[in-house]
Structure 1
Amino acid sequence: MIELSAHTGGTIVPVHAQPGARRNGILGERAGSLRVAVTAAPERGRANAAIAEFLAESLGCRPSQVGILSGEASRQKRFLVAGIAPEDLRRRLAPLIPGSDPGPTLPPS
C-alpha cells in the first residue's frame, strides 16, 4: 500500500522513479512508494518535471498542483499534490495501479 501523508497544503506521495523508460506509466507499488516510469532522461530535472506532469494528468489535477518536495537526484522522491486530501488521492490512484485491489466485492445473490 502506498504511504500517503497529509500535509498542510495537500498530500505527500512517495514515488520510486524509473526515468528513461520506453513509455510513461504507473507500474505499481514498491516498498510503500508509487512506481512511476517516464521517458525523460534523469538530467537537469527533466525526469522530475515529467513525473510531476504525468502525475497531474493521471490524477486529473492542474500541473501547478504537483511539485517535488525532496529527492531531486534520487530514485526515491516525495511529491506534494496540493489541494487534495489523502483519502481523495487514494481513490484517484486506486484504478491507476496495476494489480491493485479494487475493494470489497459483494457476494453473489
Structure 2
Amino acid sequence: MRLTPKSSADRIDGAGTAPDGRPVLLVRVRALPENGAANAALLAVLAKALKLPKSTLILDSGGKGRVKSVRAAGDHAGLRQALDRLSVSLGSAVD
C-alpha cells in the first residue's frame, strides 16, 4: 500500500504502482506523519473499507516510509470476502 498523509480526506484512491514496480493500494489520510498518527489512520481507513475490526489489522512493515504492508488476523474465508468486497467497490469507483 502507498500512503499519502496530510490529505484533504481519508480515502482509498484505488490501485497504483510502487517505485519498485509492485502493485499497491493507494490510500490517503488527513493525519500528519507524526508519532504514528498517519499509520493509525491508515489502519482505520482499511478496517472501515474491509468492514473488519481495527484490532484485526497491524502494520507489518513500512512504519516510516510511504509504502507499507499490513497484516490481517482472522479466518481466511472472512478475510477473502472482505478483500473481494473492497476489490468490487474499487473497480466500480475506478471505472
**Band the TM-score falls in, shorter-chain normalisation:** 0.7 to 0.9
Q: Which residue identity is paired with 1:93?
A: L
Q: Aligned pair count?
A: 86
Residue of structure 2 in register with 1:92 after alignment? 85
Q: Which residue identity is paired with 2:56?
A: Q
Q: Percent identical across equivalent pairs?
A: 30
TM-score (norm. length: structure 2): 0.81
Q: Give ranges in structure 2 of 5+ residues lacking alignment.
A: 18-22
Residue of structure 2 in register with 1:8 after alignment? none
Q: Give ranges in structure 1 of 5+ residues lacking alignment.
A: 1-14, 101-109
Q: Can you list the C-alpha shifts for 1:54-86, whole angstroms capped at 9, x where unaligned? A: 111111011100110000000000001211536
Residue of structure 2 in register with 1:58 after alignment? 49
Which of 1 and 2 has greater Rg?
A: 1
Higher relative contact order structure (alpha carbons within 8 Å, sequence separation ≥ 6) = 1
Q: CA distance change for structure 1 residues 44 and 59 in 2, over 3 Å: closer, same or farther?
A: same
Residue 50 of structure 1 deviates from its aligned partner by: 0.4
Q: CA RMSD in A?
A: 1.6
Q: CA distance change for structure 1 residues 36 and 96 in 2, over 3 Å: closer, same or farther?
A: farther
Q: Which has the higher helix share?
A: 2
- Which stretches of structure 1, 4 residues or more, deviate above 6 A after TM superposition? none
- The SS at the match of 1:76 is coil
Aligned pairs for 1:21-100 (under 5 A) are: 21-31=7-17, 32-85=23-76, 87-97=80-90, 98-99=93-94
Q: Which has the higher strand share?
A: 1
CA contact (8 A) 1:16 1:33 kept: yes
